[in-house]
Amino acid sequence: MSSRGSGSRSNGSLPQTKICQFKLVLLGDMAVGKSSLVLRFVKGQFDEFQETTIGAAFLAQSVCLDDTTVKFEIWDTAGQERYHSLAPMYYRGAQAAIVVFDITKPETFERAKAWVKELQRQASPNIVIALAGNKADLAEKRLVEYEEAQTYAEDTSLLFMETSAKTAMNVNELFLAIGETPCTRFKTFSSFVNELIMWNMRCPLLILLQLSFTLL
């Protein structure tokens, strides 16, 4: 489990940790390495002969980002076409999605673009979408250029990283970058709610003051 930030305080009291829990779904063509990325992130392992996912698999992981505990609920969906119709059941209500392609197979990049369009059309309007160019350890067999994927990601407002589940390159970094975005929104919303509560508490006093000036 990865962590960032210090939880200690000089006065010896326990830190008050916020909890941010959200649903994350992985989408992409068959054999692009979705399950391997999740296995590397959750268990720190890599299986050269990872079994094909049937339908979907569920895993969970918690990490610390500064003063917030992020609880990932990860749905790893099957890439076979016959399971495509099930995908909306998994990305519905998701706060984040990772769309994965294989940098050695251009057709998986095109399929990733189709997934992005579907998410932008049918998923939550606030969903965070990340694009992962997996199998970066096979750079000598690359057929999808980094610049091409980066430009596409910028044009469609996606997070983008090249990853390798085999070597662990950028795997934790990808999940942590995804985790930071919804949690930043969560913190902003929480601050807004707190300010609204404080304003409502002051509101009766303001009304009384206005009435006083009116009577005068």
Residue 206 has pLDDT above 70, yes or no: no
Alpha helix stretches (DSSP H) within the chain? 34-43, 87-91, 106-122, 146-155, 171-215
215 pLDDT exceeds 60? no
95-117 pLDDT, tens digit per residue, is 999 999 999 999 999 999 999 99
Give the pLDDT of residue 186: 46
Segment 118-145, tens digit of pLDDT: 999 999 999 999 999 999 999 999 999 9
Confidence band for 159, pLDDT divided at 50, 70 and 90? very high
What is the distance between the alpha carbons of residues 39 and 28, in angstroms, rounded to a whole number?
Answer: 16
Query: What pairing do the DSSP bridges indicate for beta strands 56-65 and 18-28?
Result: unpaired
Reported as a single tens digit per residue, the pLDDT across 164-189 is 999 999 999 999 999 887 665 544 43
Within a 10 A sphere around the Cβ of 137, how many other Cβ atoms? Answer: 16
pLDDT class for 56, splitting at 50, 70, 90?
confident
pLDDT band at residue 29, thresholds of 50, 70 and 90?
very high
Q: What domains are defined for the chain?
A: 18-182 (3.40.50.300)
Q: Check: CB of residue 127 under 8 Å from CB of residue 94.
A: yes
Per DSSP, 60 falls in state: E
Confidence bin at 196 (pLDDT 50/70/90): very low
pTM over 0.75, yes/no: yes
| Burial (CB count within 10 angstroms: exposed 0-12, middle 13-18, buried 19+), residue 54 | exposed
